[in-house]
């Protein structure tokens, strides 16, 4: 049994963590740090809610602490957890700087403890489906992939009157998509950055367009904006023999917002209208156009991976170097944006 505690009792803990850690039979949630007297989230039977963090640090049964608080506190709390002898899972962004990330990984190594970033988006349905298509070989040699994570939420950047790194679009959304790229394609040989504040300097970063260049002329583009009334396809993959287009995103978040939970058999499952379309020519030169049944996304796979590492000694599901490289990329994108505005 892996016994865990959550630091934080807000939306992140209750919507994006507990529904998935609860799916793993051998994970036991013992405590949740909740400093507010009242919470909009229903208390979980059998879980102890505490106001003093020392109740977590001094509990010898707690093997893993999950930090699910605002990002400004991630580095400080993760360091405190390690210094109190606890293994740590940290919500993204893991830290503000790559220097902080290196320090945390070094501290964990020194104390023979585990620390990892919660990169659940590796298990998005659309991303898993794209991997299946690429690995099938039906597209031939893949030379271009476009990833989009768009919104039409102009009220968010319009309400922002100052710039803060941890509230930037890079740190709140590229932390998902950049990790997907690094996890599947590895470290690129070159990156081109186009990171902007569409409403002007000293406002929120609300747009990014990153091109990752790999060997054999492969380019992976990651693009996001708050001002897309008509969203671009979630993924478009181009190869020498065909193209795959996945219009819609993974549906787990959509279902969670409706309080439709993972214990439902069809949780997060695409319906036929969400399936991607594959266009290709076969070895005889015949043209094909067909729908592809989506893979099923499952964020609990991150928790299963953490369990396997801590209990069974398996390799980390999210490597330290991937987390460090991801934050280096976020840092560089913001730096280039600020430099361009001077």
Residue 39 pLDDT more than 90?
A: no
Contact predicate 246/126, CB 8 Å: yes
Establish if 325 belongs to a structural domain. no
Residue 40 pLDDT more than 90?
A: no
Q: 68 and 160 in one domain?
A: no
Q: 144 and 277 in one domain?
A: yes
Q: 292 and 191 in one domain?
A: yes
Q: 196 and 133 in one domain?
A: yes
pLDDT tens sequence across 272-305 = 999 999 999 999 999 999 999 999 999 999 999 9
Q: 180 and 285 in one domain?
A: yes
Q: 24 and 156 in one domain?
A: no
- Closest by Cα among 81, 44, 48, 41 to 63: 81
How many distinct structural domains can be found in the chain?
Answer: 2
pLDDT tens sequence across 231-278 = 999 999 999 999 999 999 999 999 999 989 999 999 999 999 999 999
What pLDDT does 42 receive? 87
Average pLDDT in the chain: 96
What pLDDT does 338 receive? 96
CB atoms within 10 A of CB 161: 9
pLDDT tens sequence across 161-219 = 999 999 999 999 999 999 999 999 999 999 999 999 999 998 999 999 999 999 989 99
Establish if 315 belongs to a structural domain. no
Beta 64-67 vs 2-7: how paired, if at all?
parallel
Q: 63 and 22 in one domain?
A: yes
What pLDDT does 41 receive? 87
- Closest by Cα among 338, 317, 315, 335 to 327: 335
Name the residue range of residue 20's domain: 2-118
Q: 107 and 145 in one domain?
A: no
Q: 270 and 196 in one domain?
A: yes
Contact predicate 143/191, CB 8 Å: no
Residue 37 pLDDT more than 90?
A: no
Residue 113 is part of a domain; what is its CATH number? 3.40.50.720
Distance CA(190)–CA(214), nearest Å, equals 7
What pLDDT does 341 receive? 87
Helix (H) or strand (E) holding 145: strand 142-148
Q: What is the DSSP letter of 232?
A: P
Q: 95 and 56 in one domain?
A: yes
Residue 328 pLDDT more than 90?
A: yes
Q: 170 and 84 in one domain?
A: no
Residue 38 pLDDT more than 90?
A: no
Residue 195 is part of a domain; what is its CATH number? 3.30.360.10
């Amino acid at each position: 049994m892996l016994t865990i505690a959550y630091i934080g009792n807000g939306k992140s803990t209750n919507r994006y963590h507990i529904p998935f850690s609860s799916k793993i039979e051998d994970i036991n949630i013992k405590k949740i740090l909740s400093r507010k007297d009242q919470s909009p989230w229903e208390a979980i039977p059998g879980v102890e809610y505490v106001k003093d963090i020392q109740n977590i640090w001094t509990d010898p049964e707690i093997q893993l602490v999950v930090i699910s608080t605002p990002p400004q506190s991630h580095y400080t709390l993760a360091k405190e957890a390690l210094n109190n002898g606890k293994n740590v899972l940290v919500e993204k962004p893991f830290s503000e700087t790559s220097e902080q990330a290196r320090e945390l990984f070094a501290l964990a190594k020194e104390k023979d403890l585990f620390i990892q970033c919660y990169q659940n988006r590796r298990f998005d349905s659309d991303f898993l489906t794209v991997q299946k298509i690429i690995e099938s070989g039906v597209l031939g040699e893949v030379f271009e992939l476009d990833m989009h994570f768009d919104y039409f939420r102009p009220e968010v950047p319009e309400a922002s009157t100052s710039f803060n790194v941890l509230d930037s679009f890079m740190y709140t959304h590229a932390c998902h998509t950049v990790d997907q790229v690094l996890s599947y394609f590895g470290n690129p040989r070159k990156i081109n950055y186009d990171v902007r504040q569409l409403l002007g300097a000293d406002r929120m970063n609300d747009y990014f367009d990153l091109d990752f260049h790999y060997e054999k002329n492969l380019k992976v583009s990651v693009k996001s904006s708050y001002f897309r009334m008509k969203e671009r396809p979630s993924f478009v993959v181009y190869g020498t023999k065909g193209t795959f287009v996945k219009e819609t995103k993974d549906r787990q978040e959509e279902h969670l917002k409706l309080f439709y939970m993972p214990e439902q058999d069809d949780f997060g499952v695409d319906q036929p209208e969400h399936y991607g379309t594959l266009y290709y020519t076969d070895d005889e030169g015949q043209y094909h156009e067909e729908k592809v049944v989506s893979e099923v996304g499952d964020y609990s796979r991150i928790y299963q991976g953490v369990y396997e590492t801590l209990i069974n000694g398996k390799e980390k599901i999210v490597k330290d170097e991937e987390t460090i490289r991801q934050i280096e990329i976020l840092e560089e994108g913001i730096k280039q944006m600020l430099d361009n505005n001077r």
